[in-house]
């Protein structure tokens, strides 16, 4: 800086560091190899089943995403909060409470003729307010119990099944 400028401004501004020295330099590319000389990729370290990616211990639960009507999510959330339960724990408690009533809801549809397969259930109706995806954290055993009950009742959609469980539980409470 010139001396006149320094006197007019007072103290000179601090110098900025050379940013090129602070950023990592990319190494020069190695010459291309032929198809016969392809290097083997480095093996990935095996992860144990008891840890997650970051090395923290696994909780034994995994998320199961389900689409639920938005008004139902609000009611379920309030009930789960009131009972001080996670969504997954609330779902399993609700399944336990409505276990027998599910058979009434999903009773087999009457067959028209014995030679024909039974009619399919009506598809899900459009819900006012739309649907919201909710993640239920369930253990493998809980997931299997839910899936087994769904198979027993021949329900095609997990979202429909979970919606029915929650609706029946909220009706009765």
Distance (Å, whole) CA 124 – CA 151? 18
The answer as to whether 37 is a domain residue is: no
Residue 89 lies in a domain: yes
Q: Measure Cα distances from 34 to 29, 31, 37, 41 in Å.
A: 15, 10, 5, 15
In a domain, 121, yes or no: no
Give tens-digit pLDDT for 127-155: 677 889 999 999 999 999 999 999 999 89
pLDDT greater than 60 at residue 115: yes
Dihedral sign from CA coordinates of 70, 72, 73, 74? positive
Residue 57 confidence (pLDDT): 45
Query: For residue 63, what pLDDT is reported?
Result: 85
Is 18 within the bounds of a domain? no
Give a yes or no: residue 165 inside a domain: yes
108 pLDDT more than 90: no
- Provide CB contacts within 8 A for 131, sequence distance 6+: 67, 68, 69, 70, 159
| Residue 44: inside a domain | no
* Total structural domains within the chain: 1
For 34-92, write each residue's pLDDT tens digit: 556 666 666 666 555 554 555 444 567 788 899 999 999 999 999 999 999 999 999 99
Confidence (pLDDT) at 19: 58
* Two structure tokens written together for 91: 């779902």
Largest interatomic CA distance in the chain: 104
22 part of a folded domain? no
What domain range includes position 79? 61-107+128-172
In a domain, 142, yes or no: yes
């Amino acid at each position: 800086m010139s001396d006149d400028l320094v006197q007019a401004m007072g103290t000179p501004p601090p110098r900025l560091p050379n940013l090129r020295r602070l950023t990592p330099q990319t190494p020069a590319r190695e010459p291309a190899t032929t198809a016969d000389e392809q290097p083997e990729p480095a093996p990935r370290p095996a992860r144990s089943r008891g840890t997650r990616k970051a090395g923290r211990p696994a909780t034994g639960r995994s998320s199961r995403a389900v689409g639920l009507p938005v008004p139902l999510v609000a009611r379920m959330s309030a009930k789960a909060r009131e009972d001080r339960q996670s969504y997954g724990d609330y779902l399993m408690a609700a399944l336990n409470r409505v276990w027998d009533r599910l058979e009434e809801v999903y009773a087999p549809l009457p067959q028209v003729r014995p030679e024909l397969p039974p009619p399919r259930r009506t598809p899900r109706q459009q819900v006012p307010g739309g649907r919201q995806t909710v993640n239920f954290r369930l253990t493998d055993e809980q997931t299997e119990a839910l899936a087994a009950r769904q198979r027993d009742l021949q329900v095609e959609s997990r979202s429909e099944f979970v919606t029915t469980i929650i609706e029946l539980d909220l009706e009765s409470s």
